[in-house]
């Protein structure tokens, strides 16, 4: 198999894995509405059972970069597909709260494989960095976007268990196809375009601390909004709608985020990363404040603006890792990036339950807006620090 064919196949499966990673992880936040109706348990009780999944999503990402360096990224991505599929079937078999919590924890561990492994594979096989990052991000966003709608439709028509069984079978099928069609890791592209050179820094440690603060706070806003979105629309839109329609509206909001990611993929190849970072970060608290203070259509507009900013920023942050971190350290850097963002934000689930019980989704969105302001402040600091980078050109990253 030619290196070009291997890269194309690898990118296709990496994109599909990104879509499934976000889709499967967000099945439960929508299915929980149907589970609550069937079991008689409250939303706060049931959503709290997913704490382990979202904590493991970040916590277990830390060793995945090391494991991929040791056992191969292709092998680790195969493990992702197969273990994700089996954990979906496990959740579908649950009937007691402890069983839900246990299988959701297993699902969270499996989900942690993708980002440090898949992101590194993407950067290594990309031909034009910004464009391919944007396309990959759109796949992930469409996975998240379709999760609410597809889950709601399956739960309403076939029952909530089918909402886990069918995606689980898809994961298993793709895992088998990946093993057959992608025989190895391959070699990184040496002739990529899109300004993929390593960007020199004068104060890397200070920039790293600022970036870490932005990643942690951004993870909080990301999870608060994506996990709570279906229930926010259910409670605050002011319309008495069936579950399937609520899921469809949530999907529509996520689709705007996908459009932002496609656009960011193009802009990353044309403009400086710190400037893009500042602009997107400012939109987050603005959208969240609008959503926290309104209901109905203004609420929907505020959530749409928020999702556009949050998902667009994912592309920019991944491009920062690709361009500020040398190739030999990139897998570990992606592991740390997602460890910081997803582990801390995994505690959003119990926070969401407490805030919702105390003050409803107005309080939840207000807390998210506060984290959004932290992201914006960190982006301004990053922009200022990046201006003092050495003027000389560094050697290419690959």
Number of domains in the chain: 1
pLDDT, tens digit, for every residue of 340-388? 877 776 677 788 888 888 888 888 889 999 999 999 999 999 888 887 6
Tell me, yes or no, whether 398 lies in a domain.
no
pLDDT > 90? residue 256 = no
Expressed as residue numbers, the domain containing 262 is: 3-386
CATH number at residue 28: 1.20.1250.20
For Cα atoms 146, 17, 172, give the angle at the middle one, nearest 5 degrees. 95
Q: Is residue 394 part of a domain?
A: no
| Beta pairing partners, 23 | none
For residue range 5-42, list pLDDT tens digits in order. 888 899 999 999 999 998 999 899 888 888 888 877 77
Q: Is 40 helix (H, G, I), strand (E, B) or coil?
A: coil
**Count of CB atoms within 10 A of residue 392's CB?**
6
**Domain-located, residue 397:** no
Residues 338 and 322: their CA atoms lie apart, in Å, by 14
For the segment 265-281, the average pLDDT, to the nearest whole number, is 86
In a domain, 392, yes or no: no
Can you tell me the mean pLDDT for 68-91? 93
Residue 192, SS3?
coil
List the structure tokens of 4: 């070009």
Cα separation, 29 vs 12, in Å, equals: 27
Would you report the helix, strand and coil content of the chain in percent, each value rounded to 5? 80, 0, 20
**What CA–CA distances, in Å, run from 258 to 75, 138, 149, 242?**
29, 5, 15, 25
CB-count exposure of residue 147 (10 Å: 0-12, 13-18, 19+): buried
In a domain, 393, yes or no: no
Is 0.95 surpassed by the pTM of this model? no
Domain assignment of residue 105, yes or no: yes
Q: Is residue 395 assigned to a domain?
A: no
pLDDT tens track for 191-217: 554 445 566 666 778 888 898 899 889
Q: Is 370 a domain residue?
A: yes
Residue 238 falls in which region: left (phi positive, over 0), alpha (psi -120 to 50) or beta: left
What's the residue count for the chain? 398
């Amino acid at each position: 198999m030619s290196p070009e064919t291997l890269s194309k196949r690898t990118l296709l499966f990496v994109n599909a894995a990104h879509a499934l990673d976000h889709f499967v992880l967000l099945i439960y936040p929508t299915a929980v509405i149907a589970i609550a109706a069937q079991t008689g348990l409250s939303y706060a009780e049931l959503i709290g059972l997913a704490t382990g999944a979202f904590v493991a999503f970040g916590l277990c990402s830390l060793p995945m970069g090391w494991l991929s360096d040791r056992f191969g990224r292709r092998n680790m991505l195969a493990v992702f597909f197969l273990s994700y599929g089996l954990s979906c079937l496990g959740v579908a078999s649950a009937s007691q709260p402890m069983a839900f919590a246990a299988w959701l924890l297993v699902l969270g561990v499996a989900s942690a494989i993708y980002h440090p492994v898949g992101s590194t594979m993407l950067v290594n096989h990309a031909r034009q960095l910004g464009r391919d990052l944007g396309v990959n991000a759109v796949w992930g966003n469409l996975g998240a976007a379709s999760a609410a709608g597809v889950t709601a439709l399956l739960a309403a028509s076939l029952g909530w268990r089918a909402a886990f069984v069918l995606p689980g079978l898809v994961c298993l099928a793709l895992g088998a196809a990946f093993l057959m069609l992608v025989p190895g890791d391959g070699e990184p592209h040496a002739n990529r375009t899109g300004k993929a050179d390593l960007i020199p820094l004068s104060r890397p440690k200070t920039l790293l601390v600022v970036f870490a603060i932005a990643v942690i706070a951004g993870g909080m806003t990301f999870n608060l909004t994506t996990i709570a979105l279906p229930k926010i629309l259910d409670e605050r839109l002011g319309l008495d709608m069936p579950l399937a329609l609520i899921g469809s509206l949530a999907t529509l909001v996520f689709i705007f985020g996908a459009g932002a990611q496609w656009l960011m993929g193009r802009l990353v190849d044309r403009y400086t990363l710190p400037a893009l970072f500042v602009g997107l970060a400012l939109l987050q608290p603005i959208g969240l404040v609008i959503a926290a203070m309104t209901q109905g259509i203004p609420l929907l507009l505020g959530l749409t603006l928020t999702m556009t900013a949050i998902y667009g920023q994912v592309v920019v942050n991944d491009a920062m890792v690709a361009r500020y971190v040398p190739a030999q350290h990139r897998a570990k850097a992606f592991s740390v990036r997602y460890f910081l963002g997803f582990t801390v934000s995994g505690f959003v689930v119990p926070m969401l339950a407490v805030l919702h019980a105390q003050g409803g989704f107005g309080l939840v969105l207000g807390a998210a807006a506060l984290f959004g302001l932290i992201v914006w402040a960190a982006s301004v600091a990053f922009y200022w620090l990046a201006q003092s980078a050495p003027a000389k050109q560094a050697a290419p990253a690959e």
